[in-house]
């Protein structure tokens, strides 16, 4: 009978740290709950303070168009662009190709 030489110190995954979650995710649960709260807040702002809502939408649209400009110019000049995303810190929205 032969015995295989499998080391006993192979990590079985028991000692691995659980993935870290953001503070907001720990407080509010998952990202769908956070998105629901954000949409509720924006809905409230839209009905109570219409000009604040218009300002928020204008800023988001401006940032989106600005970042899209970087993306399109890089593609036009032959750079390999694999990702486009909106967000500061954690991504709010993204897509990946290539």
Query: pLDDT tens digits, residue range 10-40?
Result: 555 555 566 666 665 666 667 777 788 888 9
**pLDDT band at 58, cuts 50/70/90?**
very high
Residue 22 lies in a domain: no
Q: pTM of the predicted model, to two decimals?
A: 0.50
Residue 62 lies in a domain: yes
Q: What whole-number distance in Å separates Cα of residue 62 and Cα of residue 68?
A: 10
Q: Which residues are catalytic?
A: 67
Q: Residue 59 belongs to what domain range? A: 51-98
Tell me which residue of 58, 57, 73, 67 sits closest to 87, measured CA to CA. Answer: 67
Tell me which residue of 69, 72, 73, 66 sits closest to 88, measured CA to CA. Answer: 66
Q: How many domains does the chain contain in total?
A: 1
Residue 32 lies in a domain: no
Residue 11 lies in a domain: no
């Amino acid at each position: 009978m032969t015995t295989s030489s499998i080391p006993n110190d192979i990590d079985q995954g028991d000692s691995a740290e659980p993935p870290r979650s953001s503070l907001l995710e720990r407080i509010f649960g998952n990202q769908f709950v956070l998105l629901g709260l954000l949409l509720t807040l924006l809905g409230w702002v839209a009905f109570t303070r219409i000009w604040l809502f218009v300002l928020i939408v204008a800023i988001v649209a401006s940032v989106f168009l600005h970042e899209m400009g970087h993306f399109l110019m890089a593609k036009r000049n032959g750079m390999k662009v694999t990702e486009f995303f909106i967000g500061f810190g954690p991504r709010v929205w993204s897509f990946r190709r290539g």
